[in-house]
Structure 1
Amino acid sequence: MTPAPQPDSPADIHRRIAHRLTGLADTADGVPPHPYVRRHLAQHADLGHVLDDATLPAAFLPWDTDGKLRGRLGLPSTPGDDQTAVAAWAEIEPFLHDADHRTRQVSLDFALATRAAPPRARTAVWPRHARWQTPNNVVVDAGAVLTSLALFRSPDGRPHLAAGGRDGVLVVDPAQGAQVGEPLRVEGGVRAVVAFTAPEGRPLLATGGRDGVVRIWDPLTGAETGEPLHGHEGAVSTMVAFTAPEGRPLLATGGRDGVVRIWDPLNSTEVGERLQSHKFEVRAVAAFQGLGGRPLLATGGRDGVVRIWDPLTGAEASAPLHGPGGYASTMAAFNGPEDGPLLATGGRDGVVRVWDPLAGRHVGELMHGYEGAVLALVALPGPQGRPLLATGGRDKVVRVWDPLKTGAGASWPGHKAGVRAVAVFDGPDGRPLLATGGGDEVVRIWDPLTGGEAGAPLRSADGVVQAVAVFDGPDGRPLLATGGSDGVVRIWDPLTGSAVGQLLHTHGSSAAAVVSFGGPESRPLLAVGHLNGVVRVWDPRTASEICEPVRGPRSTVAVLVAFAGPGDQPLLATGGEDGAVRVWNPLTGDPVGRPLSTPESAVRAMAAFDGPDGRPLLATGGSDGVVRIWDPLTGEAAGPPLQGHQDSVAAVVAFGGPGGRPLLASGSKDRSVRVWDLDGGQCLLRIVTASPIHALLPVKGNRTGASGLLVGATAGFAFVDVAMPER
């Protein structure tokens, strides 16, 4: 008797559906697949355990409307060799928002190029070389600075994150990588948020703000419940929930007054002893269980010390924790591999550190290169009960990390804190070399044709490298000038890795911009812009100043460019926080013309280029996300504003497109690069990169009709060819 066929498992059924849908997704170029395919292919592939490049090919991914691929891969993701395109898409997915199909397609091309993956047949971006590491753990782009995170469970038991910021509280599902419901609007914004459970099992949220008041909310209805808790003098900076020995929920809140207060949130009363924990503001607090299950609190303040307390007696329970990284802006407790408590702290340097609070020792570091301070931190359960950490901060995104993998991110063979400045120069045999400066106080030299480092790192132990410029030394060899946060301009031989000089500096004022240009008799000169508003012009060969320091109105000098004026007279343009661009004669220090003013926007980027009639023009990028074109000799706008970026513009460069077409590229903190047609002000191309952009540099393209572009970002740098559309 023939045995009855075994019924297919649900996974088998979904796998077959996914493979059939993959066939339907293969449409003619530019023709979208059926809406069901776009919406559900990724879901069937996930349920069928075939979430790979064969089932979700690169040609389909820009059409996907599921929007949850990053959650389906798992956060943080550990993609396999057959998931290159899928993983690339998952990393840019949180930042695409309402991007059109071409933007989604080009952004995937760029993400694949940074992995040196084979490009699509009809790609717009070709890889040349990259040292690029984007986060693989972003849950959601909140669009606002996040100051606090809390974990709670919905009635069906699913974990949710409540993210507090200037606009209120946003609820997200970390497993799906998606926002849940509408944001909870809190007047004045939220500095701290924590979740706890009412006796009947209902989740509640407590928020603290600038007014020093703690409020209790129902996150499922958005309604305030109970009486507000008053007591802090000044803002509530941090809070944590813990359970008293008899089982009732308690809150510990810390504020600007340096005091930690203990509350019964259900009775709206203060209980226990106040902890006079720190001399200054209490910035972080976490709760964990000590020996015998007794609740303990860890507090961190601006004094840089983490203290351990017994909240029921008000006494310190162990020695304070001291370590690297300055003060803790946020902290969270979780159980380690042997169920002992561990403490994670995040700070202004963008590093999450892990501690053993009972032993009083530093265990390791979780990550480097975070864009801005880590302001929010919470522990949540991961697969098989493994602890995870969610972080939020000034980069406006929520990320998920595995805290037991300390040291993650430290092995990348590039800058640990992103690329802030780039320059190109000729090597000994005429081949181009790259110099990149980062927040890790190192300048690295790269061969973009081989991908390897082409020299020893140039280490500046006293300051973050913020600017790099190239000029010719006395023997014609290229030299580098670097500007640091310590105010010093250092001169290096990039081919030997040795320092060959140091210019005088402005004590206490960062050297934010450095540019080289030709002076009389073609000798190289350097102009250095400092954050105290001073510009100094140097002869680097003699280490002497050319003229008296240029001092404008009381404003920073954040950007600086050199260009040729009438009669090839060298001119300098400076821009800063006051929104004005000023033009100077660098040989005399005299102002030229009247300032170009954008009073509602600081100037964060600038480039000089020749207009159609040969007259010099300036492009400026502002903190308002707008790129403006100016005639620096008349002080008038030379074209319409170029609008589209959603955050500060950090880099602008002009270059020639096909047929000499004048183009401009801009890079922004909104994680995108845009290419503009200067003739009509049209945005020709938008690339979403998943990393804030800091620097752009045009280079010669290797392909017909393509322009080369070097992109420097928090993620590293990428050297690509970009195909531009014909007129």
Structure 2
Amino acid sequence: MTEPPERPDRHPQTLGHLEIQGSGGHLEIRDGHAESPRPERHQEAPGPGRQAPAVRPADSHVEIQQKLAAALADLVPDDPSIPPHPYLRRHLAQHAAQGHVLDDTHVPPALLPWETSAAVRRLLAAGESSSLRQQWLQAWAKLEPFTRDLTPLSRLASLQLAHHAATARHLPPERRGNPPEPFAESPVTPLWSDCASAENLWALTDPAVTSLTSVTPRGPRRTLVVAGDDHGAVRLLRPDGTAAAAPLALHQGAVTHLLPLADGLVVTAGTDGRVTVLDAHRARPIRQIHHRERAWVTSLIRHEQSEHAPALLAAYGDGHIAAFDAATFQPADIPLPVLESAPVLLQSTRLPGPADPPRTECGSPVRGGEAAVSGPPRSGTPVLLFAQHDTVGCFDGRTTARCSRHPAAVRALLALPDRSGRYAVALEDGSLALHDAAAPQLRLPAPTGTGPDTTQATALQVVEVENRQTLASASADGTVRLWELPALRPLHLALPGHSAPATALTAVTRDGHTRLYSAGLDSTIRTWPLSSAALQNPPPVWTPITASALSPPPMRLLATAEEARTKVWNIETGAEQLVHEGDSSTALAWVPLGTRLLLAAGMSDSSVVLWDLTEGGAASTVRALTGHYSPALCLVPMIDDATALLAGGGADGRVLVWDLSTGRTVHSFSQHVFSVRCLASVHSRHGFLLASGGSDGNVRIWDLRRPPREAGGGHRSDPVTIRCEQHAVNDVAFFPLDNGGLRLATAGQDGSLKVWSVREGQGQEPVPGRQERSRERSYDGVDLVREFNPGDGELTAVTRFTDGRGRTVFAVAGRTGIHLWDATVDRPLLQAVTGYPVNTLKMAPQRASESVAPVLLATGEAGTMILRLDDKRL
């Protein structure tokens, strides 16, 4: 489809039933789809089939685009289920941006689920329209990278959730009013949110990116960001985050290092021991430079040594260093230090003047400070910095010297680009420090708060902020931090974004503006503008929610745990109550016990505490349940007329069941080898069945009708054991069938959801499950009947409900959102994008007599959301 002209011409463009015609300064828009006039959105915009206002030849290009955007916006149907004209989907946002009216009026929310330009995020970033009303556009921009393969219905639901999270945090229903008109028919209605939106997302990558750099072109070519991933591919990305070419498979392991050279060349190295070179602008591999078998590359640098041509140096995990001519890529014969057989990090710098550190001869490996003394290097000598274990040394082509020794192993080493001889180190204990190779006894001040408890840095990069050199560090907690040089004082607040450790950093300067890019193990690349104005108010660093639970009716109480606080929210009124402070909770569950409503919480001291919140006042402690050797990770109550039990699964690999009336442990199961991650229960004809899933990849089903052993705290029968072959099992969910049968769903670390048919029986030995769907083979009372893989990374949670049409619908949490799947006919129904991993999915308890829409609790890295699902619209 062709772009519209920047100015009216004398030739009409007819696109389907939409006609744009310019003649003699006259602009006319017709829509053949319209059958009746509609209320006008703009005073200056005509309704369908009516003539637009005349545009004089003297009017500016901006004015023309404003009028064109207003007229086109009026053609967008109010009902988001009706697809707008393809021209509107592709070009309306561009017209609004060129007219400086990129706002929610000129790009209506009803268009966004159908928008196909994938440019809204880029247009918002390039505009200067912060005063415009852009709430819906801003919400869409945060989702845009996730939505390219989504259906319009999924886009509609995702947009509504993102807008609610950004504008209605903690607002109870009576203060929100009715949903906006375009979303009145959405299958998902947010009831409560306390969560962050996906911030600063630049690109999604699968698999995760492990290295980053950028290539600055000469001439008209655009800057490219180059990303190496965990599976050995190199990706070339344009400034807007889109792919410039297909991924290049260059390695058989993770690409750990990328080194840019002149003319768009990039040298790559990885865990397979290979070093290759590619032409980034032509997206073409050139050659493999080197391959060292059974070793991985730990550093890749360009180094200039006196009396020798510039060389490329590749260091390996066994301490070997290979040298190549930086122009011809042929092996180079240059002096190199002899090092221990241990991983080594390299950096290149130049000493500004003479120094007098203790030195050893080139042929002796540097170990601690045991070397003999030799003469100092000459002023301005190029120096090779190397780090092994806890020591940083330097080599000037003749001799080696120890520059600094540290209290922990060196994890990252970076020479400052000012050729001052100074270098930064990040240690395994989380501390950062700045040293001077020219004065090895001088240790420049470390930032306040560094030490063993500080978040470990995973990558270092020097960037410019307002023309000042600044050190950027990527952290294992997913944040990026900026440090003022040389004092290493924190500059502004931490920059959040990644839900897993950050792995790599790079910076790109275009038109005088610098942006910092970070990659993480959450398979995202995020970016921040490096200006004081932008850094003054970075997005808040959200404290991860460690547990959540939604109470049964009639009350709607939401319990959440974060850090050392456990809180309860009344989502109907917005009231907040602090239940406990000073100890973190690892699992939560509501326990309706007679007329009392109890909250059970697994605590960091391995106990499970019961609080009474019946009266709505201060929480009173009922009792503490003990028996676990490490914190409980999951809790599930089992209550009926004759039984009041609570089950807990812990990091100690044990499943304990307590009698709530006495606090006594009535069952203790220890068959799991590693942590018990999830529990689920179901009331069968004669009592409760309990399922537990764990890090050992197995699910065990316990029949609690069978009495415990009188001694030893064990069980008289072995459980039914399912070896799920999903790596770790993250969540389980039971669901009974109308014919009396029983099924069990398991969400796996491998990204699959498996559905098992459970027959009453007793298993003996675990039998591997089958990856393919099967209704034929059964074992130990269990059949694998269905499998679903939404392609959204590791599945972390699963729950289910039966809709009004009798369909069994699963809600499954993946890396970027929630997936609804109709297990009856094996069909995906909806994907609601969150932009961050969701760790918990639970259907809200309901009375058996109630016939209301199901309510879903979703909790993840960035907060909590409660949704009502309208199954009639799925």
Q: Please report the TM-score for the alignment, with normalisation by the length of structure 2.
A: 0.71
Q: Quick one: structure 1 residues 206 and 400, their matched pair in 2 at CA, closer, same or farther if it must change by over 3 Å?
A: same
Decide which moves more: 47-56 or 26-35: 26-35
Q: Quick one: structure 1 residues 700 and 636, their matched pair in 2 at CA, closer, same or farther if it must change by over 3 Å?
A: closer
Q: Quick one: structure 1 residues 7 and 254, their matched pair in 2 at CA, closer, same or farther if it must change by over 3 Å?
A: farther
* Residues 1:467 and 2:593 are matched in the alignment: no
Aligned to 1:455: 577
Q: Quick one: structure 1 residues 690 and 26, their matched pair in 2 at CA, closer, same or farther if it must change by over 3 Å?
A: same
Equivalent in 211, 225, 235 of residue 148 of structure 1: 211
* Residues 1:332 and 2:480 are matched in the alignment: no
Equivalent in 791, 797, 801 of residue 651 of structure 1: 797
Q: Quick one: structure 1 residues 233 and 480, their matched pair in 2 at CA, closer, same or farther if it must change by over 3 Å?
A: same
Decide which moves more: 488-497 or 627-636: 488-497
Deviation at 1:612? 1.0
| CA RMSD, Structure 1 to Structure 2 (Å) | 4.0
Equivalent in 680, 691, 695 of residue 840 of structure 2: 695
Aligned to 1:565: 684
Identity in percent: 26
Q: Please report the TM-score for the alignment, with normalisation by the length of structure 1.
A: 0.84
Deviation at 1:445? 1.6
Contact 2:387 2:413 in 1 (8 A): no
Query: Which SS does the other structure have where 1:372 is aligned?
Result: coil
Aligned to 2:566: 443
Aligned to 1:381: 509
Aligned to 2:828: 683
Aligned to 1:56: 107
Q: Distance in 2 between matches of 1:264 and 1:52?
A: 54
Decide which moves more: 401-410 or 181-190: 401-410
Q: Distance in 1 between matches of 2:130 and 2:621?
A: 42
Decide which moves more: 106-115 or 586-595: 586-595
Deviation at 1:691? 2.3
Aligned to 1:193: 257
Q: Distance in 1 between matches of 2:598 and 2:135?
A: 39
Query: Which SS does the other structure have where 1:612 is aligned?
Result: coil
Aligned to 1:612: 738
Aligned to 1:343: 471
Aligned to 2:264: 203
Q: Distance in 1 between matches of 2:420 and 2:96?
A: 47
Structure 1 segment 17-96 matched on structure 2, within 5 A: 17-26=68-77, 30-74=81-125, 82-96=133-147
* Residues 1:355 and 2:475 are matched in the alignment: no
Equivalent in 537, 540, 543 of residue 417 of structure 1: 543
Equivalent in 288, 293, 299 of residue 425 of structure 2: 299
Decide which moves more: 475-484 or 58-67: 475-484
Structure 1 segment 568-647 matched on structure 2, within 5 A: 569-586=687-704, 588=708, 589-590=714-715, 591=717, 594-634=720-760, 635-637=781-783, 639-647=785-793
* Residues 1:554 and 2:673 are matched in the alignment: yes
Aligned to 2:768: none
Q: More relative contact order in 1 or in 2 (CA 8 Å, sep 6+)?
A: 1
Unaligned runs of 5+ in 2: 1-54, 169-175, 337-382, 391-407, 709-713, 761-780
Contact 1:649 1:666 in 2 (8 A): no
Contact 2:648 2:655 in 1 (8 A): yes
Aligned to 1:394: 521
Contact 1:370 1:417 in 2 (8 A): no
Q: Distance in 2 between matches of 1:388 and 1:242?
A: 27
Q: Quick one: structure 1 residues 399 and 406, their matched pair in 2 at CA, closer, same or farther if it must change by over 3 Å?
A: same
Query: Which SS does the other structure have where 2:271 is aligned?
Result: coil
Unaligned runs of 5+ in 1: none
Query: Which SS does the other structure have where 1:40 is aligned?
Result: helix
1:459-491 per-position Cα deviation (integer Å, ceiling 9, x unaligned): 454x5x44211225798242322255x755444
Letter in structure 1 aligned against 2:281: L
Letter in structure 1 aligned against 2:783: A
Q: Distance in 2 between matches of 1:347 and 1:520?
A: 51
Contact 2:547 2:587 in 1 (8 A): yes
Letter in structure 2 aligned against 1:125: V
Contact 2:703 2:719 in 1 (8 A): no
Contact 2:200 2:497 in 1 (8 A): no
Aligned to 1:165: 229
Q: Quick one: structure 1 residues 605 and 248, their matched pair in 2 at CA, closer, same or farther if it must change by over 3 Å?
A: farther
* Residues 1:513 and 2:637 are matched in the alignment: no
Aligned to 2:864: 717
Aligned to 2:598: 478
Letter in structure 1 aligned against 2:225: L
Query: Which SS does the other structure have where 2:88 is aligned?
Result: helix
Deviation at 1:94? 0.8
Contact 1:578 1:599 in 2 (8 A): no
Q: Quick one: structure 1 residues 230 and 686, their matched pair in 2 at CA, closer, same or farther if it must change by over 3 Å?
A: closer
Deviation at 1:57? 0.9
Contact 2:215 2:280 in 1 (8 A): no
Aligned to 1:122: 185
Contact 1:563 1:616 in 2 (8 A): no
Q: Which has the larger radius of gyration?
A: 2
Q: Distance in 2 between matches of 1:302 and 1:235?
A: 20
Deviation at 1:396? 0.4
